[in-house]
Structure 1
Amino acid sequence: MVLRVYNTLTRQMEDFTPLHDGKVNMYVCGPTVYDHCHLGHARSYISFDVIRRYLAYRGYDVRYVSNITDVDDKIIDRAKETGENPFELSSRFTLSFIEDMDKLNVQRPDVQPRVTEHIPEIIETIKVLIDKKLAYATPEGNVYYDLTRSLDLVGVLSRQTIDGLLEGSGSRVDVEKDKKYQLDFVLWKISPEDEPGWESPWGRGRPGWHIECSVMSVKHGSEQLDIHGGGADLIFPHHEAEIMQSEGYTGINPFSKYWLHNGFLTIDHEKMSKSKGNFFTIKQVLEEFPSEVIRFFMLNTHYRNTIDFSEKHLEEAGRAYERIANTISNIKYAIQNAPENGDDFCLSEEVNQARDSFIVSMDEDFNTREALADLFVFARKVNALISESNPGKIALEEVLTFFSEIDQVLGVFSEGPATCEEIPGGASDEDVESMIQQREDARKARDWDLADAIRDELKEKGIIIEDSKDGVRWRRA
């Protein structure tokens, strides 16, 4: 089986072959920290977290770098609104972002560099670009990349044309009066005295948005990356600017062998964004839904496809998540009463088939949706065997180990069903045990109506109880 990825650079599915055997250098653009992160950020970083995890699962030594933009016009503007120091504001929201990612079980990058820690390197990189005649400084103190030196790279990812950009169709390139060419983009911008700035050969200023990622990916990743990732909204101008800067600086082509981009998260089919005001922060959604369900919701769509957000869709994801979490709970319960050397009822074979199916799905451009669909099929088979037969302990433990193995990639079941109580309509193990005891007490008191009502309520929550001579057994449907 060969891992295949969709490369934005070529617009094709390609066999994944890293630049160096067994090693992957991966860089993903991080957030600009001027507010609490929204679900669109969660979608992106969960997607690339799973990609990173799967590469490690397949045996690659992955170096994962993702930056923090902690100085930017948006940060400065927000600080002016709140009256805060811009650096204190960005520091506060950096901690907020890290907290959100931890709660969503997104593994921390190997390196998480911040722009403000790399000003000397940024200045040196700009100097090299100027020396190579790829950039120019203006009397006003700004430095621009000279796009006329890289016209062949315009639209390399976005497929936009120069004529289209000049007409303003879809362009996000700022227009300043001291540019030589309308499409030139800023590398260093002059800073007023009341705004953050650093001394440079061109005057007091701060970095442009694009240059930071070129500098930090080269320093902490590699001069040539295996994978560069980010949201589809970064394709133009950010990622195309990175290609021009990085290849101009290093002289190495291509800057990244594979470009991966996740799709948008929409509300009522409109892209979620802070500028439009149609967004939910991660913290807001975590108040209503457990992190496992949010993560599961994201993974139930292929990372390149658009996800439309609604509370209804999250509730549906919660119920789907609980079905597999219940299976894990059923296995743990069955192990307690399973014969040590009992029949495996072909469970070992089913595990091997499920593992192969999981790898086949994930090898096709990290298709988590298909991987989860395969997992549901496997879970139904396991539940049926537990219900109809009495598999041996060794076989059941092998199934449990398999779920743990794939969760190294998916990162959604590590807590098991303990959070089911937080899922609408769900119930924790403790809740179930308490209700069963209440039913037993009602039966002893010959209150059959109450006993039946409790049994019906448990059934609504997906709990099947079985009365036997050894006591009451229960399992999740």
Structure 2
Amino acid sequence: MKIFDSHIKDKIEFKPIKDNEVRIYVCGPTVYDDAHLGHARSSISFDLLRRTLLALGYKVTFVKNFTDIDDKIINKMKATSKSLKELTEYYINSYLRDMDELNILRADIEPKATETLEEMFDLIEKLVKNGCTYTLPNGDIYFDTSKDPQYCSLSNKCQDSEENIQRIKTEGKKNPRDFALWKACKGEDDVCFDSPFGKGRPGWHLECSAMIKKHIAYPEGEYQIDLHGGGADLFFPHHENEEAQSWCAYNQHLAKYWMHNGFVTINGEKMSKSLGNSFFVKDALKHYPGEVLRFYLMSTHYRAPLNFSEEDLIASKKRLDKLYRLKKRVYAIVKKQKDEEFEKNLLLAMEDDLNISKALAAIDEFVKLSNEKLDKNPKDKTLKQKIISNIDFIDKLLGVGGSDAYKYFQSGIDENLKTKIEELIQKRESARKNRDFTLADKIRDQLNKLDIQIQDTPNGTVWEKN
């Protein structure tokens, strides 16, 4: 497999630290609000990576954290009068529900910052002992970036970000790039924890290094884990700072490989709360099924920027519709027959730095040829068994195509109408069992007037709106 390493800035062969095992850590959300499309895109990108590695036979340990203590969270607590636990648990559950709708595989480990305090204390103590910190008069502990000669070598973005760094000024900081490891308690309305350094709370950059060390780090060797990922905006300073503190504390690089997904923009602007254009996943899900939103967001290569457009989303749905129309044609097929050539071609595409364009082109060709073959040989069972097997593999690898073919086309239909349709179908089923075919035909006519087409299959009666 080949991946684009953000540090090397090139596509290189992926060789995990241990044969057949991959340890991945991806930065998760700060839980003070609902998930937006940027969260969704990052989750989908690394879900595709994880699914590809699993399909290739690797044992994958996947970790995604929740930042549940942060300035934004404290501000939201003050605005809502909610406790830290009440607020963060609400938004963690909201995030997980949205990700479930997008068919994101749950992480193997989902650590929280507030559950990793002891490990963060240990990391700070090691950095203090190694002479890599200093303490401000107010009790804040800072990492001294001048103590790490490799600082900025990971992202090579320090020079480009100098202007941004200069805007963040704290009295007593030795260097604009230095960052807080521990923030001393600032007053009664601050959120504080007991620690060996006094009451306070950890800096944001600290938690991921501590979580990696606690849950999945190799105790020895050049690297702690195989791969660290997240959004492109995290590469500097967040990941640069994680790498620096981990190296200075443990004399190990944090990760062998680094991967970052591109931004989501709306109307050409980067998604931002300050710009007021953050598009919540929950709002998109009110209008489109999670599978449709997933398919759209993954259809652009993970490293490329994606400008969200409802027009493009609708066009993307039509592409997915074609796969489900094919699935309808083999609806009653239960037995499957593996199509090794198709699976190989799809995997080859995804092995090439998750080349989704090539993978989707292979799926388009599969759908086209399958329909042509079914037109010529509609009773070919072997063909149908291969088709259903291939669709199952698409679902396994890409996370789409696994829904019921008829229910897929029922999305967007009013729930009251759905209930009425199901009731009519049940009445028709009862009439048929009682051999009252006149009533059954009348009910079919009623459904036709509602513009509903039904089909009787070995699995029961299915329906869709014309």
TM-score, normalised relative to structure 2: 0.85
* In structure 2, distance between residues paired with 1:274 and 1:391: 55
- How far the C-alpha of 1:423 sits from its partner, in A, is 5.7
Q: Which aligned pairs between 1:184-263 and structure 2 lie closer than 5 A?
A: 184-191=178-185, 192-223=187-218, 224-252=224-252, 254-263=253-262
> What secondary structure is seen at the aligned counterpart in 2 of 1:415?
coil
Aligned letter for 1:130? V
Q: Which aligned pairs between 1:33-44 and structure 2 lie closer than 5 A?
A: 33-44=31-42
Relative to structure 1, the CA distance from residue 331 to residue 296 in structure 2 (aligned partners, 3 Å threshold; closer, same or farther) is: same
* In structure 1, distance between residues paired with 2:327 and 2:274: 42
* In structure 1, distance between residues paired with 2:412 and 2:292: 8
> What secondary structure is seen at the aligned counterpart in 2 of 1:246?
helix
> What secondary structure is seen at the aligned counterpart in 2 of 1:332?
coil
* In structure 2, distance between residues paired with 1:241 and 1:140: 22
> What secondary structure is seen at the aligned counterpart in 2 of 1:180?
coil
Aligned letter for 1:420? F
> What secondary structure is seen at the aligned counterpart in 1 of 2:106?
coil
Q: Give 1:154's aligned residue.
A: 152
Runs (4 or more) in structure 1 with deviation over 3 Å come to: 170-174, 474-477
Alignment identity in percent? 36
* In structure 2, distance between residues paired with 1:183 and 1:208: 14
- Is the 2:52–2:351 contact (alpha carbons within 8 Å) kept by the matching residues of 1? no
- How far the C-alpha of 1:187 sits from its partner, in A, is 0.5
- Is the 1:266–1:308 contact (alpha carbons within 8 Å) kept by the matching residues of 2? yes
- Is the 1:319–1:423 contact (alpha carbons within 8 Å) kept by the matching residues of 2? no
Q: Which aligned pairs between 1:42-441 and structure 2 lie closer than 5 A?
A: 42-161=40-159, 164-166=160-162, 168=163, 170-171=164-165, 174-191=168-185, 192-223=187-218, 224-252=224-252, 254-333=253-332, 335=333, 351-417=339-405, 418-422=407-411
Relative to structure 1, the CA distance from residue 142 to residue 475 in structure 2 (aligned partners, 3 Å threshold; closer, same or farther) is: closer
* In structure 2, distance between residues paired with 1:110 and 1:75: 25
Runs (5+) with no aligned partner, structure 1: 466-473
* In structure 1, distance between residues paired with 2:377 and 2:464: 14
1:11 aligns with 2:16: no
* In structure 1, distance between residues paired with 2:329 and 2:293: 23
What per-residue deviation string (whole Å, max 9, x for no partner) do you get for residues 406-450 of structure 1? 3112111111322222269xx99x89x98xx9xxx9xx99xxxx9
- How far the C-alpha of 1:60 sits from its partner, in A, is 0.4
- How far the C-alpha of 1:367 sits from its partner, in A, is 1.5
- Is the 2:391–2:402 contact (alpha carbons within 8 Å) kept by the matching residues of 1? no
Aligned letter for 1:238? H
TM-score, normalised relative to structure 1: 0.83
* In structure 2, distance between residues paired with 1:358 and 1:46: 18
Relative to structure 1, the CA distance from residue 476 to residue 324 in structure 2 (aligned partners, 3 Å threshold; closer, same or farther) is: farther
Alignment RMSD (CA, Å): 3.1
- How far the C-alpha of 1:103 sits from its partner, in A, is 1.5
The farther-off stretch of 148-157 and 53-62 is 148-157
- Is the 1:105–1:411 contact (alpha carbons within 8 Å) kept by the matching residues of 2? yes
Count of equivalent residues: 432
- Is the 2:7–2:257 contact (alpha carbons within 8 Å) kept by the matching residues of 1? yes
Relative to structure 1, the CA distance from residue 476 to residue 56 in structure 2 (aligned partners, 3 Å threshold; closer, same or farther) is: farther
Q: Give 1:470's aligned residue.
A: none
- How far the C-alpha of 1:240 sits from its partner, in A, is 0.3
* In structure 1, distance between residues paired with 2:308 and 2:51: 25
- Is the 1:173–1:183 contact (alpha carbons within 8 Å) kept by the matching residues of 2? no
- Is the 1:142–1:202 contact (alpha carbons within 8 Å) kept by the matching residues of 2? no
